[in-house]
Amino acid sequence: MSTPYPTYEYKVVTFRESLIGDALDSDKLEKVLNKHAGDGWGLKAITSADVKGRIGPGAVEGLLLTFERPRR
């Protein structure tokens, strides 16, 4: 008998922060990460999200946080 592979579920959370220069509120980000970790979610990926209609190179609206956990 083979053991079935675990299945996972995913959650994507948008973290939006008003950026002044290159500053990002790491305390707020840490709280979001810890909240989801407390619910059994592990961080899988962080992706920057571009702002639509904003002028200038490298403009970032926020981050997409992708979490993963074994399906319950």
In a domain, 2, yes or no: no
User: What pLDDT score does 2 carry?
Assistant: 63
In a domain, 53, yes or no: yes
CB-CB contact of 67 with 10 (8 Å):
yes
In a domain, 1, yes or no: no
pLDDT in tens, 54-63: 555 555 578 8
Q: What is the count of structural domains for the chain?
A: 1
Model pTM score? 0.73
pLDDT in tens, 10-42: 999 988 766 555 667 889 899 999 999 999 999
In a domain, 12, yes or no: yes
Q: Which domain holds residue 28?
A: 8-70
User: What pLDDT score does 16 carry?
Assistant: 77
In a domain, 54, yes or no: yes
User: What pLDDT score does 30 carry?
Assistant: 94
Coil, strand or helix: which one is 35? helix
